[in-house]
Chain A
Amino acid sequence: GAGVSQSPSNKVTEKGKDVELRCDPISGHTALYWYRQRLGQGLEFLIYFQGNSAPDKSGLPSDRFSAERTGESVSTLTIQRTQQEDSAVYLCATSRASGPYNEQFFGPGTRLTVL
């Protein structure tokens, strides 16, 4: 496709369950970012992948959060033992390469609701 895609678009889960969110990048984009946006708030950086380099995990809020990406392909964000405060829209963005001169393009997000 032409843009970043994410699935599912909506996810409702029960507290304590694990969830997996998927991001399909724009073809050829080597850098991939995950952000979180709680209701009425700005975006929070979670994690960043650039090619085969070690990811920047500095934004992950707890060890319940993890993400994977193989090469320049799909990325998955996993939240284990979900809590109600995990409810948010999870956004994925990709760019051609790392570096502040390369714009990031966002997907539509996955809205996660933890009951």
Chain B
Amino acid sequence: DAKTTQPPSMDCAEGRAANLPCNHSTISGNEYVYWYRQIHSQGPQYIIHGLKNNETNEMASLIITEDRKSSTLILPHATLRDTAVYYCIVRDYTDKLIFGTGTRLQVFP
């Protein structure tokens, strides 16, 4: 079973920051937080992952709370092409990615 809870849907205006929350209150100390997104009819696309520290790459930033029980994915300047389902995943030693239902982000003009 997925170990994360995400809102089913969110809207964001183009050009604004999209902040996608994720709760993972049962996360263990050696489990990573991963974010993927899936644009309609395509395979999931890796976005970012982290363990304890905040992370940033060319796509997004990942903010993990100090107690690690929640995190936020930030798309700093959302575009229409960012419309997708975003999955927050807690990944353990078994290597499987267990996908939940994700957040459907709709970016509007």
Q: Which residues of B contact A56 (CB under 8 A)?
A: 94-96
Classify chain B's interface size: 20 to 34
Task: Confirm or deny: A99 has a beta carbon within 8 angstroms of a beta carbon on chain B.
Answer: yes
CB-contact partner of A109 in B34, B43, B45, B100, under 8 A: B43
Give the residues from 76 to 115 in chain A that come closer than 8 angstroms, CB to CB, to chain B: 91, 93, 98-101, 103-109
A-B contact pairs, 28 of them (CB 8 A): A4-B43, A31-B95, A33-B97, A42-B102, A43-B97, A43-B99, A45-B98, A48-B96, A50-B95, A56-B95, A56-B96, A59-B96, A93-B43, A93-B44, A98-B95, A100-B30, A100-B93, A101-B32, A101-B49, A103-B34, A103-B49, A104-B46, A104-B97, A106-B44, A106-B45, A106-B46, A107-B43, A108-B42
Which residues of A line the B interface, CB within 8 A? 4, 31, 33, 35, 42-43, 45, 48, 50, 56, 59, 91, 93, 98-101, 103-109
Which residues of B line the A interface, CB within 8 A? 2, 30-32, 34, 42-46, 49, 51, 87, 91-102
